[in-house]
Structure 1
């Protein structure tokens, strides 16, 4: 009877034991979940920054132009007998080379005539000087009251001297006219146009060619208002890098020649002028920087002290996010001094070793706790 009772009770015991086990397991799991702390802080990456002295580079653009342009005219009239092989549009001619020649016979004859006139005048002066010397000796033998300037032949002597000077002047003019029969390049020149040929008669003052000076090129550069404050105190003499982009990029060294000293009334911009020596490489063999081409000019401006250089994407509405010592987000208002390419130069609002957030949470808030990508945690203060 007792065994039967035990057999009837056994199923109930197994069920009770199972329920107790399930209860214990559930309670243990709940306790484990309660004990595990879920970290919901957003993860960010940071970068420590330091102030630096930054050399501003100013970039401006302009058209390459000749230092000077000359409308060449003949100074004497006559028939053209020859011209330089490079005296054609696009030709390059060095300073002092003969561009073209005018028939010289008339001017050579005028020179001979002037030389003869001068010789006669000098002979007359010698003769008159001798007469004056003789009169001076004779004057010693007569009373002083009878000695006059006319007696001493002073007027005649002055006339003879004046005739010599006049003859010398005529000789210089004749020599100049003869020299001007050879029309020479006033500087290293690019021939833009020419309007004469062999056998053509040219008149004095007639324009025969257009020349550009290729000893120097100049580029007038408009300077925007936001760049004006960063110009060096003395801009004249500052080295410049000139770049002309195209099928082939041309790079040449230059210098800032001068500040024009005015503000353009249309654009409200200042203007400086960059100068490049030997733009056509006539002396140096450097790549040609052709007139009329568009060029970019870079030159050094002022040095900004203790500024922070930040990527533009980290600055929004003059605000930068940093992580403070308690691992919390903090917005900083900053003063942007200048834009340099993809960066901003910031003067105020940051300190050395500030940790700039480079990857922000989707909705950043002031005081939001964050964790760092490298796993660094704040050190508890003592």
Structure 2
């Protein structure tokens, strides 16, 4: 039987050997890491970081002519639904009555059957001739009676003896016959429907062969030479205008900024719009310099009175919150909330802050600006 006692000390010695080797390897790795680790040199200094550069513009207070702008719709002065004034069958629909056509004033549109109205005119002419004949007879009777009394040397007892009531009735009959003839002639003329003003036919509502009655719609006609604009202004903007506004001229601009001519202020003020609580300005446009379209949305620029002690700045200097940042003589930021008087041409005009100026205004304010922050002002280019 073999003896196994010596194997236990041998196994225990090997374990201690591996443990010693592991500790030695770990120590070597730690030393290697300390030797190869990068180091950063940190230099302490007491100097503050440089102030950020801020682009500024220098402005001084001065007078400015107010310009009040408002957006409004351009509407035709005349926009009428033409209706038939007579009854009858439509015999012809002329080219000027088709939808989209431009009809000058007096252009034929519809022809309505006129036989009954020609008969009415002839009957009215006959009635007029009969009334005139009766008038001549009445005048002759009056003349004979007057001569008879003059020959006898007597005075007529009353008007009836001179046939004067019959004369007055005959005169009234002639006047009534003339009025009936004018009515019949007007009805006959209304059988030929013409454009009452120059414009575009936006809708045709009657067709060839259709029988219409008086008052039935025929077409929709919109003026193309005379336009009207109704603009709304706040009461603050109204106070900036030169009074009275009636008769003054306003500039018209397309939405892209293209000038479209002028409009004359027909009337303005006097009452507030019940919905918007704004003052209303009524303008008229006759023969515009540029082609304008009814229904377009235009900008109306109204020249106002001259204001003193104002600053005119680019719109970009005003933040979304309505603030403007100034740089004082020590290079510190100051935030103010100005009173914007009006906007025009990409600029804003504000009431000048207290002081004599000039002021340095941040051209492009940043969201990181803080009151009292030190900056380095740089004049803005352009």
Determine if the TM-score, normalized by the shorter chain, exceeds 0.5. Answer: yes
2:337 pairs with 1:356: no
**1:339 to partner: Cα distance:** 5.0
Q: Classify 1:321/1:209 alpha carbon distance in 2 versus 1 (closer, same or farther; 3 Å).
A: same
The answer to which of 185-194 and 228-237 deviates more is 228-237
2:213 aligned partner: 203
Residue in 1 that maps onto 2:293: 290
The change in CA–CA distance for 1:364 and 1:127 in structure 2 (over 3 A counts) is closer
Stretches of structure 2 that go unaligned for 5 or more consecutive residues are 1-46
- Corresponding residue of 2:279: 270
Determine helix, strand or coil for the equivalent of 2:283.
Answer: strand
Which segment is superposed worse, 217-226 or 65-74? 217-226
- Equivalent residue number for residue 31 of structure 2: none
Quote the offset at 1:87 in angstroms. 0.9
- Counterpart residue number, 1:80: 90
Structure 2 vs 1, CA of residues 122 and 49 (structure 1 numbering), >3 Å: closer, same or farther? Answer: same
Task: Name the structure 2 match of 1:111.
Answer: 121
Distance in 1 of aligned mates of 2:280 and 2:295: 18
Indicate which of 327, 336, 339 corresponds to 2:339. 336
Secondary structure of residue in 1 paired with 2:95: coil
Residues 124 and 336 of structure 1, relative CA distance in 2, 3 Å threshold? closer
Corresponding residue of 2:26:
none
The separation in 2 between residues aligned to 1:173 and 1:118, in whole angstroms, is 13
The alignment status of 1:346 with 2:346, answered yes or no, reads: no
3-state DSSP of counterpart to 2:276: coil
Say if 1:192 and 1:167 are closer, same or farther in 2 by CA, change over 3 A. same
1:238 shift after superposition: 2.9
Over 3 Å counting, the alpha-carbon distance change for 1:193 and 1:250 in structure 2 is farther
Deviation for aligned residue 1:185: 1.6
Paired residues of 2:325 and 2:362 also in contact (CA < 8 A): no
| Cα deviation 1:128-173 (Å, max 9, x = unaligned) | 2122211111112436366442222222222222221221121111
| Distance in 1, Cα, partners of 2:247 & 2:150 | 72
Runs of 4+ in 1 over 4 A off after TM superposition: 38-48, 314-319, 327-335, 357-366, 370-374
CA shift digits 1:231-284 (9 cap, x unpaired): 3322233322333347x96734323332253323433332223332246xxxx7
Provide the rounded CA distance (Å) in 1 between the counterparts of 2:205 and 2:49. 86
Instruction: Establish whether residue 257 from structure 1 lines up as the match of residue 294 from structure 2.
Output: no
The answer (yes or no) to whether the contact 1:320–1:332 under 8 Å persists in 2 is: yes
Q: Which runs of 5+ in 1 are unaligned?
A: 1-37, 375-382
User: C-alpha separation between the residues in 2 aligned to 1:169 and 1:125?
Assistant: 16
Aligned-pair RMSD on alpha carbons? 3.6
CA drift at 1:203: 1.0
Q: Evaluate the alpha carbon distance shift between residue 184 and residue 53 of structure 1 in structure 2; reply closer, same or farther with a 3 A threshold.
A: same
Decide whether aligned partners of structure 1 residues 268 and 173 sit closer, same or farther in structure 2, where only a CA change above 3 A counts.
closer
Report the more deviating stretch, 270-279 or 313-322. Answer: 313-322
CA distance, structure 1, for counterparts of residue 250 and residue 336 of structure 2: 35
Measure, in 1, the Cα distance between the counterparts of 2:362 and 2:324: 15
SS at match of 1:297: strand
Corresponding residue of 2:317? 313
Helix, strand or coil at the partner of 1:151: helix
Instruction: Write the deviation string for residues 167-200 of structure 1: whole angstroms up to 9, x where unpaired.
Output: 1121111111111112222221221222222322
Offset of 1:216 from its aligned partner? 1.8
Please report the TM-score for the alignment, with normalisation by the length of structure 2: 0.71
Distance 1:82 1:133 in 2: 54
Q: In the alignment, which residue of structure 1 is the partner of 2:302? A: 299
Distance 1:110 1:333, change over 3 A: closer
Counterparts of 2:370 and 2:182 in 1: how far apart (Å)? 90
| Contact 2:203–2:221 under 8 Å retained in 1 | yes
The whole-number CA distance in structure 1 between the counterparts of 2:141 and 2:253 is 76
The total of aligned residue pairs comes to: 324
